[in-house]
Chain A
Amino acid sequence: MKSLINDEFFSRLETLALNFRSDLSGFFGGKHRTRSYGQTVEFSDFREYMFGDDIRRIDWNLYSRFEKYFLRLFTDERQMHAQFFLDCSASMGKPNPQKAAYAIGIAAALGFLSIHNMDKVSFKLIKKDTAEDMSGTIVGKNTFFKSIRDLENIEFKDEADIEKAVTNCPNPGFNDGLTVIISDFFTQSNWKKAVDFLTFKKRQVMLIQVLTPEEIEPTYSDRMHLIDHESEDVADPKNMKIKITRSLQMAYREALKDYNQELKSFCASRGADFISVNCERDFEKMLFEELMRTGIMV
């Protein structure tokens, strides 16, 4: 697996930042401006003085005009918690290591942006029906780079149940940041429930689908015994014997298109973002174009 991330790449990312939703509350001490009022120098609003308010924040000029006490409110900057759920099933890595590298690269890039903006980062590896917290909550670049090395050594195998892994995650957070699920979403598990769960937790959600060219446009044809990498053996019902004809190839493309549309529509209905990327595409271009287009990265 050829790694897509290196120091030069990270240095180019330093000029960017993740754009979180403003309604997130987050934690104290960060760089993300939120709707809540805080102690920054940036004026936000006025409100009437209430008992218990710090009298130092009364705007005396307004008092002279209205003979009422008004407080000056300032915006607050919070620290967010970015969680990256990485599908570690066999389908993500076995057939095409580039796909795995791509998925890891995306997680690492977004994670770096978070760390760089003083956010907390968690990498959660979806293995079977659990989300394994790889390095715990990462704060600071040193810890981050250590965890990146661990990330590059992930073994992609078995299946991954996104629904159970996400919903059973012990610390999914609440209104405190971004959750990114990186997968091909070629799974029977109900990923919709996972999105609903995260939405319920008021997390900003983003689904990134990583596909190989062969998955987008299968070139093989004729009679095929398709062995699913996630199948246990040849007799596994996941495997299928089909005669791939041009019409079936067209049907495949149509099915994939509809499936992605379903992903996109569902995410849109839940206020989540969805992008689908081809791992053959230049990684940096994809990152700067696709993610910036969604607005998650500014």
Chain B
Amino acid sequence: MKFVTPLGLLALLGIAVLILIYLLKPNYQQKFVSSTFVWNLSLKYKKKSIPISKLRNLLIILCQILIIATGAFILGQPFISASDTQKAEKIVIIDASASMLAIQANGKTRFENAVLEVKKFGQEVMEQQELITVILAGKEADYVKTSDYNIFRTDSDLLEKYNAALDGLIAPNNTACTYGQADIDGAMTLAEEVILENPNIEIILYTATEYVDTGKVVIKNISDSEWNAAILECNPIKKDNYYIFEVEVASYNKNMDLTVNLQVDGVNLEEKSLNAQEIARCLDNNTVVITFDEGIYAYQNVQVYIQADDSFIYDNSFYLYGGTKETINVLYVSPLRNNFFSGILMGLHDMLRQRWNIVIKEVSLEDNPDLSGYDFYIFEHEMPRTLPNDGIVLLVNLNNIPQNLGLGFGGRVTNRDREEDDFVLANGMSHPIMANVNAANIIVSQYMPVLSYNGFQPLMYCGTDPVFLVKNEPNEKIAVLSFSLNRSNLPVIVEFPVLMYNLFDYFLPPTITKYVYDVNESVNLNARGPSLSINGPGLDETFNIFPHKISASVWGTYTLTQMPISGIEISEDIYVRITRAESEFVRTESLYPPFIPEPPSIDWDLVLYFAAALVAFWFFERLLHLKGDQ
């Protein structure tokens, strides 16, 4: 208990005064009366006094002393401060980012040394009867825990569990320290849970990263003399159809000449490799960009590496994949080849150049083409007897019905040769193929109504008759347009290229959008086949539902394998790298500490309680007086 105005306690002297009054006060006050005759008589009438009266007098004196004491306390404005009632607490956040894996002089990683320091610190905190919370800021911040216990507001009673939990962090094969970035913000959010319970806390962050001092978090920088030579970035830049490899390197905390090696496999679609080497002079923690221009227009994979005896080895090499585009063979079969299809296919060829190498072949059935080995078939007017089953098939204006199509058609419906009687189409069910396609813009003068379409999804209607249907099964990927482009305005409106692009994008989606990802970065996976397998460091999974999101928590090369409708297995590699920021040993980051409310100057104002006590004592004293007077 503390006092706002301790001078008020001087009123306690009143107790001394009271005692003095009791000592000096004459026991009996003199009173002159005419006669004591009746008083003498009255004594016979007086009830026998109870011996408790002496105790009562004592209680009265006690009450009076207490009244003065409580009055003095009220003047002193007593309060109990938060620090008196709530133990001081420590919140320790351990940075478990990749940079904490740097090896220090004692042969241990920064992370291991940080954990040991925290363990020792926690024991000291508990000895002082304070509470400690330990948060591990890994991929997602969480309390350090054992199988059955979180280090959350732990006191000395749980010292053994505390030690066990921290020992577990640095046990062999433990992956507590990530290859990605630390979720410091999440750790601060978790710290708020403790702050809600007790604002009397101190947050200590064990890290090797420099943070802007906010004054609210104590930064324990455990970095020593570690240095890091790193490949920060490697970009294949296509210039004049040839790749130029730009490699950004740096050496932090040490000036040196770095030898940057480039190894390219599968150079220019041939089974040969290429090696190159450049020296990068890395000074004052600045980055250096090295360019390799080796006349490469295609490659299978590229490895860039440096040889350095630095503290952090995970960024000493870098891999590039996707140097060779996959070929998509398109067969356009039509007895009356129209330029609209040719034009749109050429447009797609250019549009998807970064993704595919689209090869277009235009034939007529009369040429007896080989109806296999293509990824995309377009049949117009004249249909094959049986549909190919190794690729996507688009059927337009079917003059005859393939045997294995599975659709039932009615007779052609034609307008009465008057333009105002043309049919306007309408959208069917919502579908990715119909994205940005407004069927109401499409007018046809003749079509074949589809009467039965088991397994197909109708996407466009003419009246109540489906005229555009899609089927997407693992072994059947078919789209049917039951009207002629020649009897429609579709080829001359924007819906046609959009529809064709959507068909390609829907049936031939890119597996990945890029070939280099950061650790813990989200990877969107798509597949042309029913399943996709991913295999890499610590990850071996197969997915059947797409699109699918994953994130790799370990750096390295991951292989994506799928079996498209063509039956030819496709493999692609991606490289998951250490986040560039983790390689930058000298970076300074911002810190967003949680809001720590100032402990109120008076947590519990006791004036009211003392006032209540004073009233109670006064009431009790009066009661005793009243009883004494009776």
- Given contact pairs A186-B37, A187-B37, A247-B630, A254 touches B45 in the complex (Cβ within 8 A): yes
In the complex, are the beta carbons of A229 and B43 less than 8 A apart?
Answer: no
In the complex, are the beta carbons of B29 and A227 less than 8 A apart?
Answer: no
Give the secondary structure class of A's interface: mixed
Contacts of B40 in A (CB 8 A): 240
Contacts of B32 in A (CB 8 A): 94-95, 227, 229
> Number of B interface residues, CB 8 Å?
24
Most buried by B among A215, A224, A226, A250: A226
Give the secondary structure class of B's interface: mixed
In the complex, are the beta carbons of A228 and B47 less than 8 A apart?
Answer: no
Question: Shortest CB–CB separation between residue B3 and chain A, in angstroms?
Answer: 36
- Interface residues as binary, B605-630 with A (CB distance below 8 Å gives 1, 0 otherwise): 00000000000000000000000111
In the complex, are the beta carbons of A223 and B42 less than 8 A apart?
Answer: no
- Interface residues as binary, B23-35 with A (CB distance below 8 Å gives 1, 0 otherwise): 0000111111111
Question: Shortest CB–CB separation between residue B289 and chain A, in angstroms?
Answer: 104
Contacts of A122 in B (CB 8 A): none
Question: Shortest CB–CB separation between residue B51 and chain A, in angstroms?
Answer: 14
**Cα distance A174–B372 in the bound complex, in angstroms:** 170
Q: Check A256 for interface membership: any CB of B closer than 8 A.
A: yes
In the complex, are the beta carbons of A248 and B42 less than 8 A apart?
Answer: yes
In the complex, are the beta carbons of A215 and B46 less than 8 A apart?
Answer: no
Chain A: CB-nearest residue to B32? A227
Contacts of A259 in B (CB 8 A): 38, 41
> Number of A interface residues, CB 8 Å?
43
Contacts of A258 in B (CB 8 A): 41
In the complex, are the beta carbons of B630 and A225 less than 8 A apart?
Answer: no
**Cα distance A246–B629 in the bound complex, in angstroms:** 5
**Cα distance A188–B40 in the bound complex, in angstroms:** 11
Q: Check B239 for interface membership: any CB of A closer than 8 A.
A: no
In the complex, are the beta carbons of A225 and B30 less than 8 A apart?
Answer: yes
Question: Shortest CB–CB separation between residue A212 and chain B, in angstroms?
Answer: 7
**Cα distance A228–B34 in the bound complex, in angstroms:** 6
Residue among A90, A241, A255 making CB contact with B28, cutoff 8 Å? A241
- Given contact pairs A222-B29, A223-B29, A95 touches B34 in the complex (Cβ within 8 A): yes
In the complex, are the beta carbons of A238 and B42 less than 8 A apart?
Answer: no
Within 8 A of B (CB), among A70-91: 90-91
Contacts of B354 in A (CB 8 A): none
In the complex, are the beta carbons of A240 and B34 less than 8 A apart?
Answer: no
Q: Check B36 for interface membership: any CB of A closer than 8 A.
A: yes
Q: Check A298 for interface membership: any CB of B closer than 8 A.
A: no
**Cα distance A222–B25 in the bound complex, in angstroms:** 13
In the complex, are the beta carbons of B33 and A227 less than 8 A apart?
Answer: yes
Contacts of B30 in A (CB 8 A): 224-225, 227
In the complex, are the beta carbons of B45 and A246 less than 8 A apart?
Answer: no
In the complex, are the beta carbons of B38 and A255 less than 8 A apart?
Answer: yes
Most buried by A among B31, B628, B629: B31
- Given contact pairs A92-B34, A184-B34, A184-B35, A225 touches B29 in the complex (Cβ within 8 A): yes
Contacts of B29 in A (CB 8 A): 222-225
In the complex, are the beta carbons of B36 and A188 less than 8 A apart?
Answer: no
Within 8 A of A (CB), among B166-205: none
- Interface residues as binary, B217-251 with A (CB distance below 8 Å gives 1, 0 otherwise): 00000000000000000000000000000000000
Q: Check A261 for interface membership: any CB of B closer than 8 A.
A: no
Q: Check A252 for interface membership: any CB of B closer than 8 A.
A: yes
In the complex, are the beta carbons of A251 and B43 less than 8 A apart?
Answer: yes
Contacts of B42 in A (CB 8 A): 248, 251-252, 254-256
Question: Shortest CB–CB separation between residue B58 and chain A, in angstroms?
Answer: 15
Residue among A230, A245, A255 making CB contact with B45, cutoff 8 Å? A255
Q: Check A96 for interface membership: any CB of B closer than 8 A.
A: yes
In the complex, are the beta carbons of B37 and A188 less than 8 A apart?
Answer: yes
In the complex, are the beta carbons of B35 and A251 less than 8 A apart?
Answer: no
- Interface residues as binary, B430-457 with A (CB distance below 8 Å gives 1, 0 otherwise): 0000000000000000000000000000
In the complex, are the beta carbons of A245 and B35 less than 8 A apart?
Answer: no
Residue among B27, B38, B628, B630 making CB contact with A252, cutoff 8 Å? B38
Q: Check B44 for interface membership: any CB of A closer than 8 A.
A: yes
- Given contact pairs A224-B28, A251-B43, A255-B42, A240 touches B628 in the complex (Cβ within 8 A): no
In the complex, are the beta carbons of A215 and B34 less than 8 A apart?
Answer: yes
**Cα distance A227–B33 in the bound complex, in angstroms:** 6
Question: Shortest CB–CB separation between residue B47 and chain A, in angstroms?
Answer: 6
Chain A: CB-nearest residue to B31? A224
Residue among A91, A225, A238, A245 making CB contact with B31, cutoff 8 Å? A225
**Cα distance A227–B629 in the bound complex, in angstroms:** 21
Contacts of A225 in B (CB 8 A): 28-31
Residue among A188, A228, A248, A255 making CB contact with B33, cutoff 8 Å? A228
Q: Check A242 for interface membership: any CB of B closer than 8 A.
A: yes
- Given contact pairs A186-B38, A226-B36, A228-B36, A247 touches B31 in the complex (Cβ within 8 A): no
In the complex, are the beta carbons of A91 and B35 less than 8 A apart?
Answer: yes
In the complex, are the beta carbons of A96 and B34 less than 8 A apart?
Answer: yes
Question: Shortest CB–CB separation between residue B66 and chain A, in angstroms?
Answer: 22
**Cα distance A248–B629 in the bound complex, in angstroms:** 8
In the complex, are the beta carbons of A240 and B46 less than 8 A apart?
Answer: no
Question: Shortest CB–CB separation between residue B331 and chain A, in angstroms?
Answer: 122
Chain B: CB-nearest residue to A228? B36
- Given contact pairs A245-B629, A247-B630, A212 touches B45 in the complex (Cβ within 8 A): no
In the complex, are the beta carbons of A229 and B34 less than 8 A apart?
Answer: yes
Q: Check A220 for interface membership: any CB of B closer than 8 A.
A: yes
In the complex, are the beta carbons of A248 and B35 less than 8 A apart?
Answer: no
Contacts of B43 in A (CB 8 A): 242, 251
In the complex, are the beta carbons of B46 and A247 less than 8 A apart?
Answer: yes
In the complex, are the beta carbons of A245 and B630 less than 8 A apart?
Answer: yes
**Cα distance A250–B38 in the bound complex, in angstroms:** 12
Most buried by B among A186, A221, A240: A186
Residue among B33, B38, B630 making CB contact with A246, cutoff 8 Å? B630
25 A–B pairs (Cβ distance < 8 Å), ordered by A: A90-B34, A94-B32, A94-B34, A96-B34, A186-B35, A212-B34, A215-B33, A215-B34, A215-B35, A218-B33, A220-B31, A222-B29, A223-B28, A225-B28, A225-B29, A228-B35, A229-B33, A230-B35, A239-B36, A240-B39, A241-B28, A255-B41, A255-B44, A255-B45, A256-B41
Residues of A within 8 A of B (CB): 90-92, 94-96, 99, 184, 186-188, 212, 214-215, 218, 220-230, 238-242, 245-248, 250-252, 254-256, 258-259
Known A-B contacts: A214-B33, A224-B31, A248-B42. Give 11 more (CB < 8 A).
Answer: A94-B34, A95-B32, A220-B31, A225-B30, A229-B32, A241-B27, A242-B39, A246-B630, A251-B46, A252-B42, A256-B38
Q: Give 4 closest A-B pairs by Cβ, nearest first.
A: A251-B45, A186-B35, A186-B37, A225-B28
Residues of B within 8 A of A (CB): 27-47, 628-630
